[in-house]
A and B are shown apart, each in its own frame.
Chain A
């Protein structure tokens, strides 16, 4: 028979064997997982390198080609490779502040080449200045390529383990590893800061990134004035008190950030921002619960129109609406001389239980809105129709101003048509007949969505 002592010995050995097997299995599991992760990171690094290499090669080829067709292919190649390289770089476990500059470089190179592609596509030839920029970018791409190759060498020699970098900070050794990779990219960043400022027709162009809103020129209003404006927008009789919810505002459009207590309501304060310059509404959000729908969307659209008129947004028309949980989000656009000005838009959220305005988005309007000089269209609507696909069954035509990605505004005819039961909007430049853009309207349970 077992005595007490041997029984205990057995229990202890079972425990010891159990724990060590368990931890060994855990170790194997962890190792397999780490190898998998290392593999994924390596894949990203190699794809990053091969795409940067591709960018450099295509950039240098583009300098010596004389055929616009060839240039088109090269620039579209760079655009594609830059976008992949950017994505791969940002999938690596490196501190973002270290790779921000490199990411920006890749984004702008791609965006710049896409702009050149559009220039060539419209039949124009590239300017001397553009070619000089391509020259300089080639050098920087070459530099980045060299540095990345060196990093790859260090990693394949086994000096760097991504999975350790990922857990940076947990030990001195790991911290050092992370710092070497971070420092490498910081050095690259310093070098890349020297690349030319890129000004072109695209969303990430330096001049687009640094636009100063016109509203900043308006006179500053006091906090008291801002509170008065907020009170008027929300409704004099609904407001109990107004306080400031955030005093720091080093925003693009500096604002008073206000919080409004509503009479007879516990919690759920309304937040509203009023610009310091000019005392204009930036946004409003009322987080209250919205009950069952009692009013129709059509009614809500009218309530919204009345609200806009009462608050100084004149000559607006509704363009589309979406419905989420008993709230309608309605988009209103400014109309000047019978031309729809899409950049000047205000969005309203209207509660369908009692028709309250529970949200206003007016920042786009505030930044874009101005009295424009709209020229007479140089071509007629029927001339423009020639440039729209004959497959489309056109239901409606109107004149519009649309914002391009680079925030440039284009004067267009908007053709609304259907093809095989699906709805499309086609924009034809009213000056030269170019097809500027096609939008597809997608029906969702929430409403129509343009994409």
Chain B
């Protein structure tokens, strides 16, 4: 009997914790590490410099020196020392990710930015513009819905819609990428599909003629 409890009680606790974790993890905050780019990286470096942990010139590239500075900062603040800027370190630095300099005016821009944010956060800038361009290209293809919303919310079309990443916190870069894509920039070269070869098992998509490879994504017709 006692053994039973000893087995079940922890299991149960694990079960309920898992429920909680799943709910919290649903929309996880982005983290920044060596190789990350973007406005937030610059902000991080500026803060670190102001606090005396970072010696270099703040730019928007997270390099080895940035990592070292982050580690020193984390050690001083009693945070987990891993050199990765997650939500805790961001908070300790006093950086609010949600800061937006200006809100896009067209609703399409907003939605497109959200889709790019969910699908291609962390990709190189042109990779983000290309994902936006694929969505725009689809609205002009007779085989697809004609509106941005129709294309993005087509069942099964985008994983970011299925796993809720589309609702994740919007970063500034995807907003710029969305503007560029709607203004006509198309680094994808007229693609209407893209996939991550490391994650896709769909045979059909592999058979499409490849146009380009940008970052982790393959763009095709």
Which A residues contact B (CB, under 8 angstroms)? 5, 8-9, 11-12, 15, 19, 83, 86-87, 90-97, 100-101, 103-104, 107-108, 111, 166, 203-204, 209, 245-253, 255, 257, 265-268, 271, 273, 283, 285, 287-289, 322, 324-325, 329, 347, 349, 359, 361, 363-364, 444-446, 449
Across the interface, which residues of B come within 8 angstroms of A449, CB to CB? 105-106
A97 touches B204 (CB 8 A): yes
Across the interface, which residues of A come within 8 angstroms of B105, CB to CB? 444-446, 449
A361 touches B212 (CB 8 A): no
A250 touches B12 (CB 8 A): no
A246 touches B213 (CB 8 A): yes
Q: Is B42 an interface residue (CB 8 A)?
A: yes
CA distance A5 to B221 in the complex (A): 68
Across the interface, which residues of B come within 8 angstroms of A103, CB to CB? 142-145
A83 touches B212 (CB 8 A): no
Q: A96-B154, A103-B144, A444-B105 are in contact. Are A252 and B189 (CB under 8 A)?
A: yes
A289 touches B183 (CB 8 A): no
A267 touches B59 (CB 8 A): yes
A266 touches B214 (CB 8 A): no
CA distance A257 to B124 in the complex (A): 14
CA distance A445 to B109 in the complex (A): 14
Q: Is B135 an interface residue (CB 8 A)?
A: no
Q: A12-B4, A445-B105 are in contact. Are A285 and B125 (CB under 8 A)?
A: yes
**Which listed residue, A8, A203, A285, touches B187 by the CB 8 Å rule?**
A285
Give B154's nearest chain A residue, CB to CB: A90
CA distance A248 to B211 in the complex (A): 6
Q: Is B9 an interface residue (CB 8 A)?
A: yes
CA distance A287 to B125 in the complex (A): 6
CA distance A107 to B37 in the complex (A): 41
B143 touches A285 (CB 8 A): no
Which B residues contact A (CB, under 8 angstroms)? 1-2, 4-5, 8-9, 12, 15, 37, 39, 42, 59-61, 63, 101-102, 105-106, 124-126, 129, 140, 142-146, 150, 153-157, 172-173, 176, 179-180, 183-187, 189-190, 204, 209-214, 221
A251 touches B61 (CB 8 A): no
Across the interface, which residues of A come within 8 angstroms of B179, CB to CB? 324, 329
Chain A nearest Cβ from B109, distance in angstroms: 9
Across the interface, which residues of B come within 8 angstroms of A364, CB to CB? 184
What are 17 contact pairs spanning A and B, CB under 8 A? A83-B146, A87-B150, A90-B150, A204-B142, A245-B214, A251-B190, A253-B189, A267-B61, A268-B61, A285-B187, A287-B37, A325-B101, A325-B176, A329-B179, A349-B180, A364-B184, A449-B106
CA distance A265 to B186 in the complex (A): 25
Chain B nearest Cβ from A55, distance in angstroms: 16
Chain A nearest Cβ from B132, distance in angstroms: 12
Across the interface, which residues of B come within 8 angstroms of A11, CB to CB? 5, 9
CA distance A283 to B214 in the complex (A): 15
Q: A289-B60, A444-B105 are in contact. Are A15 and B213 (CB under 8 A)?
A: no
CA distance A95 to B9 in the complex (A): 43
Chain A nearest Cβ from B53, distance in angstroms: 19
A283 touches B186 (CB 8 A): yes
Give B101's nearest chain A residue, CB to CB: A325
A363 touches B212 (CB 8 A): no
A12 touches B212 (CB 8 A): no
CA distance A107 to B146 in the complex (A): 9
**Which listed residue, B39, B184, B211, touches A289 by the CB 8 Å rule?**
B39
B59 touches A249 (CB 8 A): no
Across the interface, which residues of B come within 8 angstroms of A93, CB to CB? 155-156
A268 touches B60 (CB 8 A): yes
Across the interface, which residues of A come within 8 angstroms of B42, CB to CB? 289
A87 touches B126 (CB 8 A): no
Across the interface, which residues of B come within 8 angstroms of A283, CB to CB? 185-187
B157 touches A96 (CB 8 A): yes
**Which listed residue, A8, A101, A265, touches B1 by the CB 8 Å rule?**
A8
**Which listed residue, A87, A111, A203, A250, touches B145 by the CB 8 Å rule?**
A87
B102 touches A266 (CB 8 A): no
Across the interface, which residues of B come within 8 angstroms of A253, CB to CB? 189
CA distance A245 to B211 in the complex (A): 12
B145 touches A86 (CB 8 A): yes
Q: A103-B142, A289-B60, A325-B102 are in contact. Are A257 and B212 (CB under 8 A)?
A: yes
Give B100's nearest chain A residue, CB to CB: A325
Across the interface, which residues of A come within 8 angstroms of B155, CB to CB? 91-94, 166
CA distance A111 to B140 in the complex (A): 12
Chain B nearest Cβ from A16, distance in angstroms: 9
Chain B nearest Cβ from A350, distance in angstroms: 13
Sort A-B residue pairs by CB-CB distance and give the 5 closest, nearest first: A287-B125, A251-B189, A267-B61, A107-B142, A93-B155
**Which listed residue, B5, B106, B144, B211, touches A12 by the CB 8 Å rule?**
B5
Across the interface, which residues of A come within 8 angstroms of B153, CB to CB? 91
Chain B nearest Cβ from A276, distance in angstroms: 12
Across the interface, which residues of B come within 8 angstroms of A273, CB to CB? 187, 189
Chain A nearest Cβ from B137, distance in angstroms: 11
Chain B nearest Cβ from A59, distance in angstroms: 18
CA distance A336 to B83 in the complex (A): 59
CA distance A359 to B180 in the complex (A): 9
